[in-house]
A and B are shown apart, each in its own frame.
Chain A
Amino acid sequence: NAGVTQTPKFQVLKTGQSMTLQCAQDMNHNSMYWYRQDPGMGLRLIYYSASEGTTDKGEVPNGYNVSRLNKREFSLRLESAAPSQTSVYFCASRPLVSDEQFFGPGTRLTVL
Protein backbone atom coordinates (compact mmCIF):
# COMPACT_ATOMS: atom_id res chain seq x y z
CA ASN A 1 0.00 0.00 0.00
CA ALA A 2 1.29 3.44 -0.93
CA GLY A 3 -1.00 5.17 1.59
CA VAL A 4 -1.64 8.79 0.62
CA THR A 5 0.28 10.14 -2.37
CA GLN A 6 0.53 13.74 -3.54
CA THR A 7 1.84 15.27 -6.74
CA PRO A 8 3.79 17.35 -7.38
CA LYS A 9 6.21 17.50 -4.42
CA PHE A 10 7.42 20.99 -5.34
CA GLN A 11 5.98 23.71 -7.55
CA VAL A 12 6.81 27.32 -8.37
CA LEU A 13 4.10 29.46 -9.95
CA LYS A 14 3.86 33.04 -11.09
CA THR A 15 1.05 35.21 -9.81
CA GLY A 16 -2.11 34.55 -11.81
CA GLN A 17 -1.15 31.06 -12.99
CA SER A 18 -3.39 28.11 -12.24
CA MET A 19 -2.57 24.59 -11.16
CA THR A 20 -4.10 21.46 -9.68
CA LEU A 21 -2.63 19.52 -6.77
CA GLN A 22 -3.36 15.84 -6.94
CA CYS A 23 -4.02 13.50 -4.02
CA ALA A 24 -4.85 9.80 -4.00
CA GLN A 25 -5.27 7.18 -1.28
CA ASP A 26 -5.41 3.43 -1.59
CA MET A 27 -6.81 2.63 1.87
CA ASN A 28 -10.51 2.79 0.89
CA HIS A 29 -11.07 5.73 3.25
CA ASN A 30 -14.30 7.69 3.08
CA SER A 31 -13.10 11.12 4.21
CA MET A 32 -10.39 13.22 2.62
CA TYR A 33 -8.95 16.61 3.56
CA TRP A 34 -6.81 19.42 2.19
CA TYR A 35 -4.76 21.54 4.59
CA ARG A 36 -2.27 24.32 4.22
CA GLN A 37 0.59 24.93 6.62
CA ASP A 38 2.49 28.20 6.67
CA PRO A 39 5.98 28.38 8.22
CA GLY A 40 5.89 27.88 11.98
CA MET A 41 2.12 27.56 11.95
CA GLY A 42 -0.46 24.90 12.47
CA LEU A 43 -2.57 23.16 9.86
CA ARG A 44 -5.55 25.04 8.49
CA LEU A 45 -8.35 23.17 6.76
CA ILE A 46 -9.09 24.35 3.22
CA TYR A 47 -11.73 21.85 2.06
CA TYR A 48 -12.85 18.40 3.04
CA SER A 49 -14.90 15.60 1.58
CA ALA A 50 -16.87 13.31 3.87
CA SER A 51 -17.56 10.84 1.10
CA GLU A 52 -17.43 10.44 -2.66
CA GLY A 53 -19.51 13.13 -4.31
CA THR A 54 -19.55 15.57 -1.39
CA THR A 55 -17.26 18.48 -0.54
CA ASP A 56 -17.43 21.19 2.11
CA LYS A 57 -15.53 24.36 2.92
CA GLY A 58 -13.08 24.45 5.77
CA GLU A 59 -11.49 27.37 7.54
CA VAL A 60 -9.68 28.99 4.57
CA PRO A 61 -11.43 28.07 1.27
CA ASN A 62 -11.09 31.36 -0.60
CA GLY A 63 -9.03 31.07 -3.78
CA TYR A 64 -9.36 27.28 -3.96
CA ASN A 65 -11.66 24.71 -5.51
CA VAL A 66 -11.77 20.96 -5.02
CA SER A 67 -13.00 17.87 -6.81
CA ARG A 68 -13.66 14.49 -5.26
CA LEU A 69 -13.22 12.57 -8.48
CA ASN A 70 -13.91 9.17 -6.94
CA LYS A 71 -13.32 7.49 -3.60
CA ARG A 72 -9.56 7.44 -4.14
CA GLU A 73 -8.84 10.91 -5.51
CA PHE A 74 -9.32 14.43 -4.14
CA SER A 75 -7.77 17.31 -6.07
CA LEU A 76 -7.19 20.93 -5.10
CA ARG A 77 -7.19 23.67 -7.73
CA LEU A 78 -5.79 27.17 -7.57
CA GLU A 79 -7.46 29.13 -10.37
CA SER A 80 -5.35 32.29 -10.10
CA ALA A 81 -2.41 31.86 -7.75
CA ALA A 82 -1.42 34.65 -5.37
CA PRO A 83 1.74 35.07 -3.25
CA SER A 84 -0.43 34.61 -0.14
CA GLN A 85 -0.98 31.01 -1.28
CA THR A 86 2.70 30.19 -0.86
CA SER A 87 2.57 27.33 1.62
CA VAL A 88 2.94 23.60 2.16
CA TYR A 89 -0.20 21.72 1.20
CA PHE A 90 -1.08 18.43 2.85
CA CYS A 91 -3.74 15.98 1.82
CA ALA A 92 -5.07 13.50 4.35
CA SER A 93 -7.58 10.67 4.50
CA ARG A 94 -9.53 9.13 7.35
CA PRO A 95 -11.47 5.88 7.68
CA LEU A 96 -15.11 5.96 8.67
CA VAL A 97 -14.77 4.60 12.20
CA SER A 98 -11.60 6.35 13.37
CA ASP A 99 -10.33 9.85 14.01
CA GLU A 100 -6.85 8.93 12.81
CA GLN A 101 -5.86 10.87 9.71
CA PHE A 102 -3.21 9.61 7.32
CA PHE A 103 -1.23 12.37 5.67
CA GLY A 104 0.52 12.56 2.34
CA PRO A 105 4.10 13.89 2.07
CA GLY A 106 2.97 17.39 1.11
CA THR A 107 3.37 19.76 -1.82
CA ARG A 108 5.65 22.75 -1.32
CA LEU A 109 4.20 25.60 -3.38
CA THR A 110 5.83 28.97 -3.99
CA VAL A 111 3.96 31.74 -5.79
CA LEU A 112 6.15 34.56 -7.07
Chain B
Amino acid sequence: GQSLEQPSEVTAVEGAIVQINCTYQTSGFYGLSWYQQHDGGAPTFLSYNGLDGLEETGRFSSFLSRSDSYGYLLLQELQMKDSASYFCAVRDSGGYQKVTFGTGTKLQVIP
Protein backbone atom coordinates (compact mmCIF):
# COMPACT_ATOMS: atom_id res chain seq x y z
CA GLY B 1 0.00 0.00 0.00
CA GLN B 2 0.85 3.66 -0.05
CA SER B 3 1.77 5.90 2.87
CA LEU B 4 2.37 9.65 2.60
CA GLU B 5 3.48 11.74 5.56
CA GLN B 6 3.26 15.53 5.91
CA PRO B 7 3.85 17.95 8.80
CA SER B 8 0.53 18.59 10.53
CA GLU B 9 0.84 22.37 10.82
CA VAL B 10 2.99 25.17 9.42
CA THR B 11 2.85 28.88 10.23
CA ALA B 12 4.37 31.53 7.97
CA VAL B 13 4.32 35.30 7.56
CA GLU B 14 2.47 37.09 4.79
CA GLY B 15 4.83 37.80 1.88
CA ALA B 16 7.26 35.05 2.88
CA ILE B 17 8.03 31.66 1.29
CA VAL B 18 6.96 28.35 2.80
CA GLN B 19 7.77 24.75 1.89
CA ILE B 20 5.42 21.86 2.69
CA ASN B 21 7.07 18.46 2.57
CA CYS B 22 5.65 15.07 1.64
CA THR B 23 7.60 11.88 2.28
CA TYR B 24 6.20 8.64 1.02
CA GLN B 25 6.48 4.89 0.99
CA THR B 26 4.89 3.43 -2.12
CA SER B 27 4.90 0.33 -4.25
CA GLY B 28 4.82 2.35 -7.46
CA PHE B 29 2.95 5.40 -8.63
CA TYR B 30 2.49 7.63 -11.65
CA GLY B 31 3.27 10.97 -10.06
CA LEU B 32 2.75 13.28 -7.08
CA SER B 33 -0.19 15.68 -6.95
CA TRP B 34 -0.98 18.55 -4.61
CA TYR B 35 -4.38 19.83 -3.50
CA GLN B 36 -5.53 22.84 -1.52
CA GLN B 37 -8.56 22.77 0.77
CA HIS B 38 -10.01 25.75 2.59
CA ASP B 39 -12.02 25.16 5.76
CA GLY B 40 -15.48 23.91 4.86
CA GLY B 41 -14.61 23.58 1.19
CA ALA B 42 -13.69 20.86 -1.27
CA PRO B 43 -10.12 20.04 -2.32
CA THR B 44 -8.90 21.76 -5.46
CA PHE B 45 -6.01 20.63 -7.62
CA LEU B 46 -2.80 22.70 -7.51
CA SER B 47 -0.02 20.86 -9.32
CA TYR B 48 1.36 17.55 -10.55
CA ASN B 49 4.88 16.10 -10.88
CA GLY B 50 5.09 13.10 -13.18
CA LEU B 51 8.86 13.36 -13.48
CA ASP B 52 11.57 14.29 -11.01
CA GLY B 53 12.27 17.98 -10.76
CA LEU B 54 10.51 21.26 -10.28
CA GLU B 55 7.17 22.32 -11.76
CA GLU B 56 6.17 25.97 -11.49
CA THR B 57 2.66 27.39 -11.66
CA GLY B 58 2.56 31.05 -10.73
CA ARG B 59 3.31 31.51 -7.03
CA PHE B 60 3.22 27.75 -6.47
CA SER B 61 5.99 25.29 -7.32
CA SER B 62 6.18 21.58 -6.67
CA PHE B 63 9.15 19.25 -6.60
CA LEU B 64 9.58 15.48 -6.77
CA SER B 65 12.58 13.23 -6.13
CA ARG B 66 11.70 9.54 -6.59
CA SER B 67 15.17 8.43 -5.48
CA ASP B 68 14.63 10.19 -2.13
CA SER B 69 10.90 9.27 -1.86
CA TYR B 70 10.25 12.93 -1.26
CA GLY B 71 8.37 15.86 -2.65
CA TYR B 72 7.41 19.35 -1.61
CA LEU B 73 5.10 22.23 -2.41
CA LEU B 74 6.62 25.71 -2.37
CA LEU B 75 4.40 28.73 -1.91
CA GLN B 76 5.94 32.13 -2.62
CA GLU B 77 4.74 35.65 -1.80
CA LEU B 78 2.33 34.24 0.73
CA GLN B 79 -1.09 35.83 0.96
CA MET B 80 -3.66 35.56 3.73
CA LYS B 81 -5.92 33.61 1.36
CA ASP B 82 -3.27 30.86 1.21
CA SER B 83 -4.28 29.83 4.73
CA ALA B 84 -5.69 26.37 4.07
CA SER B 85 -4.86 22.68 4.28
CA TYR B 86 -2.57 21.17 1.67
CA PHE B 87 -2.50 17.51 0.68
CA CYS B 88 -0.13 15.47 -1.44
CA ALA B 89 -1.51 12.45 -3.28
CA VAL B 90 -0.35 9.56 -5.47
CA ARG B 91 -2.15 7.28 -7.92
CA ASP B 92 -1.12 3.63 -8.05
CA SER B 93 0.70 2.50 -11.16
CA GLY B 94 0.20 -0.87 -12.81
CA GLY B 95 -3.19 -0.24 -14.36
CA TYR B 96 -5.02 0.60 -11.17
CA GLN B 97 -6.76 3.87 -10.38
CA LYS B 98 -6.49 3.83 -6.61
CA VAL B 99 -5.47 7.18 -5.12
CA THR B 100 -3.93 7.75 -1.69
CA PHE B 101 -3.81 11.15 -0.01
CA GLY B 102 -1.27 12.36 2.51
CA THR B 103 -2.05 13.26 6.08
CA GLY B 104 -2.39 16.95 5.23
CA THR B 105 -0.67 20.16 6.36
CA LYS B 106 -2.62 23.06 7.80
CA LEU B 107 -0.94 26.31 6.76
CA GLN B 108 -1.62 29.45 8.75
CA VAL B 109 -0.47 32.71 7.22
CA ILE B 110 -0.05 35.51 9.74
CA PRO B 111 0.31 39.26 9.11
Contacts and interface: CB of A to CB of B under 8 A. Distances in A.
State yes or no: do A and B come from one complex: yes
Interface of A: 31, 33, 35, 41-45, 48, 50, 56, 58-59, 90, 92, 94, 98-106
CB-based closest 4 A-B pairs: A103-B42, A50-B97, A43-B101, A100-B45
Given A33-B99, A101-B35, 5 more contacts: A35-B101, A45-B100, A48-B98, A99-B33, A99-B48
Contact of A99 (B1, B30, B96): B30
Interface string B70-108: 000000000000000001010100001111111110000
Contacts of A94: 97
A101 B104 contact: no
12 contacts: A41-B104, A43-B101, A48-B99, A59-B100, A94-B97, A99-B33, A99-B48, A99-B91, A100-B48, A101-B33, A101-B89, A105-B42
A58 B98 contact: yes
> Which range holds the interface residue count of chain B?
20 to 34
B53 interface: no
Contacts of A56: 96-98
A109 to B, nearest CB: 15
A90 to B, nearest CB: 6
B9 to A, nearest CB: 10
B89 to A, nearest CB: 8
Contacts of B28: none
Contact of B33 (A35, A100, A106): A100
B45 A101 contact: yes
Contacts of A100: 33, 45, 48
Nearest to B87: A42
A48 B102 contact: no
A45 B45 contact: no
A42 B99 contact: no
A31 B42 contact: no
Given A31-B97, A43-B87, A43-B101, A104 B33 contact: no
B26 interface: no
